[in-house]
Amino acid sequence: MSRSLEKRLARVEQTLADMPEQEKAASCNCYPRPKFGPWIVALTAEGFEAEANLPCPVHGFRRLGKLLIPRIFGAKGALAESYARRDEAVKAYSRRLSEFLRSHPELKDDRDEL
């Protein structure tokens, strides 16, 4: 077999070997880009937990990227109880994310870079 044919065959074999990785990367759902741009808007505990608890088919744990957490105060500056529950859900997600990143040092914490 000629040398050029061997090189072409090696490239084809490498392309086929890389296909499963490319297919996996295409199914990653980390860092969604909703209508608000690079942000996940955490309005309610239920809505945020629904986003945070969706697994990523590639990484297992779904990284959400930047979080936008609006705070609306009521009378006398009181924070609504529903926001307190939402804030606890955000803290729980942040703890899980930190643990995930510690166990996967090849992945960087890029929440501030998005």
At 62-109, the pLDDT tens digits run: 888 888 888 776 666 666 777 888 999 999 999 999 999 888 887 766
Burial (CB < 10 A; 0-12, 13-18, 19+), residue 64, is buried
pLDDT at site 34? 58
How confident is the model over 11-37, as pLDDT tens digits? 767 765 665 665 556 778 887 665 656
| 62 or 113, which is more confident | 62
Q: How many residues does the chain have?
A: 114
- The confidence score (pLDDT) of residue 70 equals 84
Three-class secondary structure of residue 41 per DSSP:
strand
Does residue 114 have a pLDDT over 50? no
Residue tagged 């741009």 (tokens) = 37
In the predicted structure, residue 110 carries a pLDDT above the cut 70: no
Alpha helices in 1-114 (DSSP H): 3-26, 45-52, 81-103
Q: Write out the two tokens for 88.
A: 């606890």
In angstroms, rounded to a whole number, what is the distance separating the alpha carbons of residues 32 and 97? 16
For residues 94 and 58, what is the distance between their CA atoms, to the nearest angstrom? 20
Token digits of residue 19: 């296909």
pLDDT tens-digit map of 32-70: 665 656 778 888 889 899 989 999 888 889 888 888 888
